[in-house]
Structure formats: structure tokens, C-alpha cells
Amino acid sequence: MAGSARGAALGWALLGDRGRCLSSCAVLALCTPKQRPPAPAPILSQQARPFLHLAAPLLGNKRMEYSEARVVGYSMKQMYNVVANIESYRLFVPWCNSSRVLSHRKGLMRAELEVGFSPLVERYISEISLSPHQIRAVCNDGRMFNHLETLWQFGPGRPGQPDTCTLDFSVSFEFKSILHSRLATLFFDEVVKQMVTAFEAQAKKLFGPQAEVLPRQRLQAARCG
């Protein structure tokens, strides 16, 4: 036992200052608590918002209107029959892919129409009211339009020419989404402005060349935005 103590004392004596340094370091190592690495700074998450949702308050939707009156070389009855034949719209109306009458009773018709082009195709129900000199169609149950209404009116043509009539067409529409609203100008130019011409061409296909209107004239055409 005494030998062991003397051996330890001799060891410390030989180490001298170095031994004291090691001893101090050992004490510090035992007494100093281990420091944890600093916690990473919290990452602030920012919820992404779709571009169209951001753009919606800035761009907005806009209702557009158009009206046109034209004297054509077909009778009021002939033009009325062309407009009232909803089933045939798919054959000649711009952008119309299909047209189907769902119900028909005196003075009122319900029809399903599909308009557009892939991938933007819209199918909607149109409520159509028919009177002797007027046909009005209102879009219901649609996803593309907030509002779509067309009105056809049929009046006498040139004096002394019973085989002519004044065809008065008006439409107002408003798309629901910003994406569809980008198509407003295209829809206006390719569909709305060509509508009367398309029905006039269909009348020619059904009844032959129209009577000469003297003087042939387009009474008015107006666009409102």
C-alpha cells in the first residue's frame, strides 16, 4: 500500500508542471457542461398562391355586348325557322360542337349546347323563349360563362319586298374565370361578329340565293365593352 502511494507520488514528481496541467484539464472536462450546438433558425414558411388567384383581383372579368341589324333577302318566316332550329346549330354555328333539344313546349325550349375547342369545351343548358317575332336564349348551368344571353328579332325588310326582312341580333356575355376571359377577344371576333353571317349562309343553303335587297345594307353594328 505504501509502495503504491510512493509510486504515485514519484509519478507526479516526474511529471511536474505537466501533470498539474493534465489534472486541471481533467477537472475542467468533468465540470464544464457539454454545450449543445445552436438550434437552426426557424424557417418561415410562405404559403404559395396560384398565379391566377393572384391575378384575379387585378384583371377582373368584363361583360361584353354586341348588336347588329341587317336587312337580308329572306322572309321573316324563313329566318325565324333558321334561328329556331336549335338541333342544326352544330352544323354551322361557329364553335358549336353539339346541340340537342331536351324539351319543347309552346313558347319555351330547353337545349343542351357544347361550345369551344379542346381543351376548353363548355356544355351548358340554354333556356329559349320563342315568340312570333323574337327568340331569346339565356345560358344556365354553365361553367364557362357568368352570363350569356342572345336575342334575335325579326322585322319587315325593304318596302314592297316581302321576301326581305330586318334581322336584329344582340348578345351579351361574361366569362367566369380569368383563363376564359383571355379568350374574350377571340370569342368576340370568331363567334359573335360572325353569327349573323353564319345564319345568313345557312338560310342560303336551305332556301337558295337570297332576294336582291335594294339597296343592300347593314343597318348598324355596335360593340360595347
Any residues with CB less than 8 A from the CB of 57 and at least 6 apart, and which?
A: none
- Structure confidence by residue, pLDDT tens digits, 169-219: 999 988 777 666 666 677 777 778 889 999 999 999 999 999 888 765 555
Q: What is the pLDDT of residue 53?
A: 29
The answer to whether the predicted template modeling score (pTM) of the entire model surpasses 0.85 is: no
154: Cβ–Cβ under 8 A, 6 or more apart, which residues? 76, 79, 80, 133, 134, 165, 166, 167, 168
Find out whether 120 and 176 touch, Cβ atoms under 8 Å: no
**Domain chopping of the chain, boundaries:** 64-207
Q: Which pLDDT score is estimated for 113?
A: 93
What pLDDT, in 10s, does the model give residues 42-83?
A: 443 333 332 222 223 333 457 888 999 999 999 999 999 999
Please tell me which of 21-30, 61-70, 101-110, 172-181 the model is most confident about, judged by mean pLDDT. 101-110
CB 171 within 8 A of CB 66: yes
Q: How many CB atoms lie within 10 A of CB 98?
A: 13
C-alpha cell at 32: 464544464
Q: What CATH code is assigned to 64-207?
A: 3.30.530.20
pLDDT computed for residue 186 by the predictor: 72
Where on the phi/psi map is residue 95: left (φ > 0), alpha (ψ -120 to 50), or beta?
Answer: left
